[in-house]
Amino acid sequence: MRVLSIGECMAELAPAPNPGDYRLGFAGDTFNTAWYLARLGVAVEYLTAVGDDAISDRMLAAMQAGGVGTAHVARLPGSTVGLYLITLADGERSFSYWRGQSAARRLADDPARLTAAMAEADTIYLSGITLAILAPDARATLIAALDAARRHGATIAFDPNLRPRLWPDAASMTQAIMEMAARTDIALPSHEDEATWFGDADPAATAARYAEAGARLVVVKDGANPVLWRSPDADGTVPVAPVQDVVDTTAAGDSFNAGFLAGLAQGAPLPDAIARGCHLSAQVVQGRGALVETVPV
Ligand code: ADP
């Protein structure tokens, strides 16, 4: 299986042990999933746009060091990447973002580039954040390319990753998410967020809403609670072994998606593929940051 992951990778400044020092890293939801897919041995390309400055060079190098293909990363002259900074107060992490001008917002400006990248992929992965950072016309361009790729046989996997602050208002977010659900093969929502913004009473309600919108397979994550799945002719749950010492839940959902998609790619039955997602994300919540280098795969 060849995966194309589409979205925004950002520069990350995280507190270093020496007070006042920060460590530079690179992360972003769809990139995190690509990075874990590569670690699991899946061939994965990342489609985004970066600038032509030094930090963009370092981001590309980090992608390549992680085994993620960069053939579909556009370089936009005079532009740069988005940045976020993590602040720690009493063990709680808070995030400040500078991403309004990031090159990734223009990742869908060239329809021919999208078509060429998608033609090489069996599975195309994106998130609600990918949709949120695009202007409405660029989002329409991306969706048209996804529809064409799907007609040619590609599987579309979508994590709604609801981030209301990236949208003008909640109604435009929920509308865009459900429009995407209608052209999704594999939906990977997290129940807690979905309950907040769609009022789902339980994970089964989340699964039903995505299935009715058109998703063939829905896998609903719910923190330490069981993962619920629903396909056209069956449904079920897979238990999660709760982690007692959670260190940092950043990228729990992103790494789950990677473990699950890698399991499917390697031909695992559905419950086994879900269990692989659970296994990987359980390791990730016990490490610090989005990309946990020490995760055994
Ligand atoms: P998101 O990061 O999208 O909010 P969730 O919090 O639902 O996603 O978590 C995604 C997956 O991470 C879960 O399905 C589960 O497999 C794993 N996970 C999250 N929290 C825990 C926990 N406390 N113990 C064990 N696994 C967890």
pLDDT band at 142 (very low <50, low <70, confident <90, very high): very high
pLDDT band at 293 (very low <50, low <70, confident <90, very high): confident
Alpha helices by DSSP H, listed for the chain, are: 29-39, 54-65, 111-119, 128-132, 136-151, 170-181, 191-198, 203-213, 252-265, 270-284
- With a cut of 90, say whether residue 295 has pLDDT above it: no
Cβ proximity of 26 and 9 under 8 Å: yes
Over residues 200-238, the pLDDT tens digits come to 999 999 999 999 999 999 999 999 999 999 999 999 999
Going by C-alpha positions, the residue among 28, 24, 16, 20 that lies closest to residue 290 is 28
Give 17 Cα–ligand 1 centroid separation in angstroms. 27
User: Which residues are near ligand 1 (CB < 6 Å)?
Assistant: 190, 221-224, 227, 240, 242-243, 246, 249, 252-253, 256, 278, 281-282, 285
| pLDDT on residue 116 | 97
- With a cut of 90, say whether residue 147 has pLDDT above it: yes
| pLDDT on residue 80 | 98
Q: Hey, which of 95, 196, 249 would you mutate to test ligand 1's pocket, going by the most ligand atoms within 8 Å of its Cβ?
A: 249
**Window from 129-143, 147-161, 243-257 with minimum mean pLDDT:** 243-257
Q: Hey, which of 129, 196, 227, 240 would you mutate to test ligand 1's pocket, going by the most ligand atoms within 8 Å of its Cβ?
A: 240
Q: What is the CATH number of domain 2-9+27-81+104-286?
A: 3.40.1190.20
Q: Mean pLDDT over all residues of the chain?
A: 96
- With a cut of 80, say whether residue 297 has pLDDT above it: no
- With a cut of 90, say whether residue 288 has pLDDT above it: no
Whole-angstrom CA distances from 142 to 115, 139, 148, 297 are 9, 5, 10, 32
- With a cut of 80, say whether residue 58 has pLDDT above it: yes
Q: Considering the chain, what percentage of its residues have pLDDT values greater than 90?
A: 91
Whole-angstrom CA distances from 8 to 5, 25, 129 are 10, 14, 8
Distance CA 281, CA 283 (A): 5
Cβ proximity of 158 and 188 under 8 Å: yes
Cβ proximity of 98 and 83 under 8 Å: yes
| pLDDT on residue 230 | 98
Tell me the mean pLDDT in the region 54-78.
Answer: 98
Tell me the mean pLDDT in the region 38-57.
Answer: 98
Give 1 Cα–ligand 1 centroid separation in angstroms. 25
Q: Where are the domains of the chain?
A: 2-9+27-81+104-286
Nearest CA owner, ligand 1 atom 22:
224
Q: To 10 degrees, what angle do helices 203-213 and 170-181 make? A: 60
User: Would the pTM count as exceeding 0.95?
Assistant: yes
Give 221 Cα–ligand 1 centroid separation in angstroms. 7
| pLDDT on residue 161 | 98
Neighbour order of strands in the sheet with 217-220: 73-75, 43-50, 2-6, 123-127, 155-159, 186-187, 217-220, 227-231, 234-238
pLDDT band at 261 (very low <50, low <70, confident <90, very high): very high
- With a cut of 70, say whether residue 296 has pLDDT above it: no
Interface predicted TM-score of the whole assembly (ipTM), two decimals: 0.98
